[in-house]
Chain A
Amino acid sequence: MTKTITDVICPFCGTLCDDLEVVVSDDGKKLLEVYNSCVIGTEKFLHSQAPDRVTRPRMHQEDGSWKEVSYDEAVEYSAQMLAKAKKPLMFGWSSTNCEAQSVGNEIAEISKSCCDNTAATCHGTTLIAVQDIGLPSCTLGEVKNRADRIIFWGCNPAHAHPRHMSRYSIFPRGFFTGKGQMSRKLVVVDPRVTDTAKMADLHLQVEQGRDYELLDALRVALKNEWLPDTVAGIPAEKIRETAAMLKSGRFGIIFFGMGVTQSLSKNHNIDAAIALTKDLNEHTKFSIMPMRGHYNVTGSGEVFAWQFGFPFSVDLTRGFARYNPGDTSTIDLLTRGEIDAMFTIGSDPGAHFPISAVKHIAAVPSVCVDPHLTPTTGVSKLHVPVAFNGVETGGNCYRMDNVPIDCRKVVEPPEGMLTDEEFLTKVRDRLKQLKGVA
């Protein structure tokens, strides 16, 4: 007999879908089938069952081979590394739960680490812009029930957040959006004709990197002022048509992604997008929301913010929290070669950082806590595999609209494997002994 577990949370993207159904074996040890999730979420659940999975910590040897070690040895190496380092970096946190993040922050305080999450290469510039001018936002429930004007700016949810459109933004029939897709107008701004753009009522194929100009041009069009013939490759008439469409809605939302956060104008793009939202509120109700990537990157920002006062790029090396992106941010610390130990958890900087930053990770003592084999584990000195959060252990996570949702455990981890929180707790306790902290 098998058991079906309902209302399971998907630990892949910031949409944090909460309607999955997972079929497990009677003894709760095998995960057999996954229903309702997207293809990426399904793969995440099923990969936890891979027969070739690494289930014990491994040390990288001089000759390039790996030697299996015990969790106790892994705890000792990690604690010693953090205790000895002058400026360690603890990076990641976005693919683990808030409880583990909180223990990690205790370790960071004791070891006077720099700590950062994956916003560093994702929505970090958004957070800078939010500190500049604020963020008029809402929940995804409000979007589902009210929004009739949807903008996807520099994001491609058809690929990156596969169920976002069916659960919240385009297709669902909400309280005031009873006709579903028919009740909404979709505007997509992207230099490619993405699979999201193909569904749009209006696609503005902006010249790559010219988002700031187009955002400002829309603000000008809202005020019915003069515009040049084309801005950022978009004809003025089309900009005015878009502005009229946005103004005529009852409730609108701008979702934005890496197209604006990672191109050259960075946080200034987001400043302009938030200013456009403010201007639109003179005509109708409008909100704006970043399309957060990892399922708990939002939670990591929350935990950092309530414990240290800043949502990312925190430097504790002086014994108190400092925040100065460009100075205390991970990529800059690594490319300047300032870090003398690297502790990675719940992310893969090896695959997603510029190679010049990854080279420095490979050059210093390093620990990578990750259930998968990744480029980061490949260049780290110690790899600590752990239970999959959201599959083999539960815990608190935050959706992209800052709504906290508890993930659920659906299956037992392989025998003897620790969770992120259990491993971090052991490291913290050993580090306290080494540092003589009560």
Chain B
Amino acid sequence: MTKNISLNLISGRTIQQGVAIEGGKEKPLYRTAAGIIEMDESDFKKLGAWKSTNVRVTSEYGSVIVKAVQTTQGPHPGLGFIPMGPWANAIINPNTYSTGMPTFKGVPVTVEVAMNEPILLGIELVQKLCGVKTE
């Protein structure tokens, strides 16, 4: 049986993500910067995964493949962080509760190892999820 762990997901800005969006969202650097989930070392142990392993992150609202990396801004056990971008937005809570603001922070997710699954590029991911035909 595949092992999985539960985390509380938040998203937000990182400087690498900022550089990547200005450098071109069609480029692989954007995926390197934002197609990741930053996890605490203790959560890696619970998951039984190596650092920099591809994982599937699933919430009530969707599922996405990202690379699990060890957080540089921790410790924060039990908390997962995906930089703002299409990967985070594939799974965050879109409910605004009459404020106009989706709930980008505080989404319960499960994380499981998906070593052989590919991480899509940013534009590619959005086009695929929206069913947009590409060349």
Are A379 and B73 interface neighbours, CB within 8 A?
no
Q: How far is the CA of A222 from the CA of B94 in the complex (A)?
A: 36
Tell me, rounded to whole Å, the shortest Cβ–Cβ distance linking A164 to chain B.
12
Chain B residues with CB under 8 A of A335: 94
Chain B residues with CB under 8 A of A39: 15, 18-19
Chain B residues with CB under 8 A of A332: 96, 100
Chain A residues with CB under 8 A of B14: 159
Chain A residues with CB under 8 A of B75: 193
Q: Decide yes or no whether B99 CB sits under 8 A from chain A.
A: yes
Q: Decide yes or no whether A128 CB sits under 8 A from chain B.
A: yes
- From the candidates B24, B130, B132, name the one contacting A372 in the complex (CB within 8 A): B24
Q: How far is the CA of A352 from the CA of B88 in the complex (A)?
A: 9
Are A379 and B126 interface neighbours, CB within 8 A?
yes
Q: Decide yes or no whether B123 CB sits under 8 A from chain A.
A: yes
Tell me, rounded to whole Å, the shortest Cβ–Cβ distance linking B26 to chain A.
5
- From the candidates B13, B26, B89, name the one contacting A355 in the complex (CB within 8 A): B89
Are A193 and B76 interface neighbours, CB within 8 A?
yes
Are B24 and A325 interface neighbours, CB within 8 A?
no
Chain B contact residues, majority secondary structure: loop
Q: Which residues in window 70-107 of B have CB below 8 A to A?
A: 71-76, 79, 81, 84-86, 89-90, 92-94, 96-106
Are B74 and A192 interface neighbours, CB within 8 A?
yes
Q: Decide yes or no whether B4 CB sits under 8 A from chain A.
A: no
State how many residues of chain A have any CB contact under 8 Å with chain B. 72
Chain B residues with CB under 8 A of A208: 8, 10, 79, 105-106
Are A40 and B62 interface neighbours, CB within 8 A?
no
Known A159-B18, A335-B94, A354-B89; judge A264-B106 contact (CB<8 A).
yes
Q: Decide yes or no whether A258 CB sits under 8 A from chain B.
A: yes
Tell me, rounded to whole Å, the shortest Cβ–Cβ distance linking B46 to chain A.
18
Q: Which residues in window 101-130 of B have CB below 8 A to A?
A: 101-106, 122-123, 125-127, 129-130
Tell me, rounded to whole Å, the shortest Cβ–Cβ distance linking A347 to chain B.
11
Known A351-B126, A375-B86, A378-B132; judge A191-B101 contact (CB<8 A).
no
Q: Which residues in window 1-56 of B have CB below 8 A to A?
A: 8, 10, 12-15, 18-19, 21-26
Q: Decide yes or no whether A356 CB sits under 8 A from chain B.
A: yes
The A/B interface has a contact count, at CB < 8 Å, of 204
Tell me, rounded to whole Å, the shortest Cβ–Cβ distance linking A272 to chain B.
15
Q: Decide yes or no whether A261 CB sits under 8 A from chain B.
A: yes
Are B101 and A124 interface neighbours, CB within 8 A?
yes
Tell me, rounded to whole Å, the shortest Cβ–Cβ distance linking B129 to chain A.
5
Q: Decide yes or no whether A313 CB sits under 8 A from chain B.
A: yes
Q: Closest residue to A267 on the B side, CB-wise?
A: B99
Known A63-B135, A330-B100, A355-B89; judge A47-B24 contact (CB<8 A).
yes
Tell me, rounded to whole Å, the shortest Cβ–Cβ distance linking A45 to chain B.
9
Of B73, B74, B131, most A-chain CB atoms within 10 Å = B73
Q: Decide yes or no whether A329 CB sits under 8 A from chain B.
A: yes
Are B71 and A192 interface neighbours, CB within 8 A?
yes
Q: Closest residue to A362 on the B side, CB-wise?
A: B130
Chain B residues with CB under 8 A of A63: 133, 135
Are B100 and A325 interface neighbours, CB within 8 A?
yes
Are A162 and B71 interface neighbours, CB within 8 A?
no
Are B96 and A156 interface neighbours, CB within 8 A?
no
Q: How far is the CA of A39 from the CA of B123 in the complex (A)?
A: 23
Q: Closest residue to A377 on the B side, CB-wise?
A: B123
Chain B residues with CB under 8 A of A375: 25, 86, 122-123, 125-127
Q: How far is the CA of A264 from the CA of B102 in the complex (A)?
A: 9
Tell me, rounded to whole Å, the shortest Cβ–Cβ distance linking A135 to chain B.
17
Chain A residues with CB under 8 A of B76: 191-193, 205
Question: What 1/0 flags go to A116-155 for Cβ under 8 Å of B?
Answer: 0000110011001000000000000000000000000000
Supply 9 further A-B pairs (C-beta < 8 A) apart from A258-B13, A329-B100. Answer: A12-B22, A128-B99, A191-B79, A195-B73, A264-B105, A352-B85, A353-B89, A354-B93, A357-B94
A residues apposed to B, CB below 8 Å: 12, 38-40, 43-44, 47, 50, 60, 62-65, 120-121, 124-125, 128, 156, 158-160, 162, 191-195, 197, 205, 208-209, 258-259, 261-264, 266-267, 293, 312-313, 325-327, 329-332, 335, 348, 350-359, 361-363, 372-375, 377-379
Per CB-CB distance, the 6 closest pairs between chain A and chain B, nearest first, are A329-B100, A326-B98, A354-B94, A362-B130, A325-B100, A375-B126
What are some 29 contacts across the A-B interface (CB < 8 A)? A39-B18, A40-B22, A44-B22, A47-B23, A62-B133, A64-B133, A124-B101, A128-B100, A156-B12, A159-B13, A159-B18, A194-B73, A259-B12, A261-B101, A263-B105, A263-B106, A329-B100, A329-B101, A331-B96, A351-B86, A351-B89, A352-B84, A355-B61, A355-B89, A355-B90, A356-B94, A357-B94, A373-B26, A378-B127
